[in-house]
């Protein structure tokens, strides 16, 4: 899940570098794995964009 | 680890940036060092701090994170791109926060002292301060960049339209050549302190061309 989420963020054309924090070193593994795998395939990114649209709309209203 | 250009600048940074706000409160020094070691081993060479960190503290703990990062960076400063920020409350006085010229110039010097370096690569305003004229803040950032204390300037947690205003005003006040290309960090909503929230570091909003 964390890897998928990170790859989704990495797929955004306007994003340079997601900032990942950790409270334990082993938490970095998923993020590093995501960076290794890179951007998501376009269809999967589109699907995730659709699923999350509601949350991002709320964000825009704040 | 892949690298990419920071916003619209020519600076190349790792595709992941390590956030440090857990260092000094959620994590002790040893744990913080272990996280930075793991990040560096994984190829992350871009570190993001802020003067007010660690998260969850007050102005009594502010600065701890930069101190931890600075101590870890000793002897390897040039292997990393180092970013930090100001605007948060750093002391008890009414001028110990915000984006006034006085505070920005005080804050950068204090950050450099804690980080143990002569310059940071990226210096950002950590939020929007409605009490300071935007021109004053932009000119102060310009001073910071021209004095060599930061290579690039940017903003964090700003509404996009304020970024647009800053871009427009920047041309009027002729603020630093780095400011137009400065990145904007937008903290993701719904993140929790102990998980691995991602904070996208996005480009300024720009007209499609």
Query: At B145, which CATH number?
Result: 3.20.20.100
Domain count within chain B: 1
Q: Flag whether pLDDT at B200 surpasses 50.
A: no
Q: Classify residue A20 by its DSSP letter.
A: E
Percent of chain B residues topping a pLDDT of 90: 69
Q: Which residues of A11-37 are buried (b: 16+ CB within 10 A; e: fewer)?
A: beeebbbbbbbbbebebbebbbebbee
Q: What is the pLDDT of residue B177?
A: 42
For residues B32 and B37, what is the distance between their CA atoms, to the nearest angstrom?
Answer: 9
In chain A, which residues have their Cβ closer than 8 Å to the Cβ of B16? 17-20, 31-32, 35
Position with higher pLDDT, B82 vs B181 = B82
Asked if B8 and B203 touch (Cβ cutoff 8 Å), the reply is yes
Per the structure, the complete domain to which residue B126 belongs is given by 3-208
For residues A19 and B19, the answer to whether their CB atoms sit within 8 Å is yes
- A-chain CB neighbours of B162 within 8 Å are none
> Above 90 in pLDDT, residue A47?
yes
- Counted across chains A and B, CB pairs separated by less than 8 A come out at 116
Q: Which residue of A has its CA nearest to B28?
A: A23
**Reduced 3-state DSSP string for chain B:** CCEEECCCCCCEEECCEEECCCECCCECHHHHHHHHHHHHHCCCCEEECCCCCCCCCCCCCCCHHHHHHHHHHCCCHHHCEEEEEECCCCCCCCCCCCCCHHHHHHHHHHHHHHHCCCCEEEEEECCCCCCCCHHHHHHHHHHHHHCCCEEEEEEECCCHHHHHHHHHHHHHHCCCCCHHHCCEECCCCCCCCCCCCEECEECCCCCCC
pLDDT at A58: 54
Which range of B44-48, B143-147, B190-194 scores highest in mean pLDDT? It is: B44-48
Q: Is it the case that residue B45 has pLDDT exceeding 50?
A: yes
Residue in chain B nearest A21 by alpha carbon: B19
d(CA B9, CA B37): 27
Which residues of chain B does A19 touch, with a Cβ-Cβ cutoff of 8 Å? 16-19, 48, 185, 198-201
Q: What's the ipTM?
A: 0.88
- Mean pLDDT calculated for residue range B204-209: 38
**Residues making up chain A, counted from first to last:** 62
Contacts of B187 (CB under 8 A, 6+ apart): B156, B157, B199
0.90 cut: is pTM over it?
no
Q: What is the mean pLDDT of residues B114-140?
A: 95
Comparison of pLDDT for B206 and B37, the residue scoring more:
B37
Task: Provide mean pLDDT across the span B49-65.
Answer: 95
Average pLDDT value over all residues in chain B: 85
Contact flag A17-B42 (C-beta cutoff 8 Å): no
Closest by Cβ to B22, choosing from A22, A59, A62 = A22
């Amino acid at each position: 899940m964390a890897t998928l989420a990170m790859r989704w963020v990495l797929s955004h054309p306007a994003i340079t570098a997601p900032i990942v924090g950790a409270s334990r070193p082993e938490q970095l593994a998923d993020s590093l794995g995501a960076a290794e795998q890179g951007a998501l395939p376009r269809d999967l990114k589109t699907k995730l964009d659709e699923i999350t649209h509601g949350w991002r709309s709320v964000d825009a209203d704040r | 680890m892949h690298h990419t250009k920071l916003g619209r600048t020519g600076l190349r940074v790792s595709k992941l940036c390590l956030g440090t706000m857990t260092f000094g409160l959620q994590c002790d020094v040893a744990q913080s060092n272990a996280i930075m070691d793991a990040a560096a081993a994984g190829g992350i060479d871009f570190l993001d701090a802020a003067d007010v960190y660690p998260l969850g503290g007050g102005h009594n703990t502010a600065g701890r994170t930069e101190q931890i990062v600075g101590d870890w960076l000793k002897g390897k400063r040039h292997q990393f791109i180092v970013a930090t920020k100001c605007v948060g409350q750093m002391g008890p006085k009414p001028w110990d926060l915000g984006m006034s010229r006085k505070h920005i110039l005080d804050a950068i010097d204090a950050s450099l002292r804690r980080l143990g370096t002569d310059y940071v690569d990226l210096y950002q305003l950590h939020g929007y301060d409605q009490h300071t004229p935007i021109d004053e803040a932009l000119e102060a950032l310009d001073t910071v960049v021209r004095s060599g204390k930061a290579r690039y300037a940017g903003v964090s947690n700003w509404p996009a339209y304020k970024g647009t205003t800053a871009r427009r005003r920047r041309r009027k006040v002729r603020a630093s050549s780095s400011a137009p290309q400065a990145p904007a960090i937008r903290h993701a909503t719904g993140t929790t302190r102990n998980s691995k929230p991602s904070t996208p570091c996005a480009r300024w909003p720009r007209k499609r061309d």
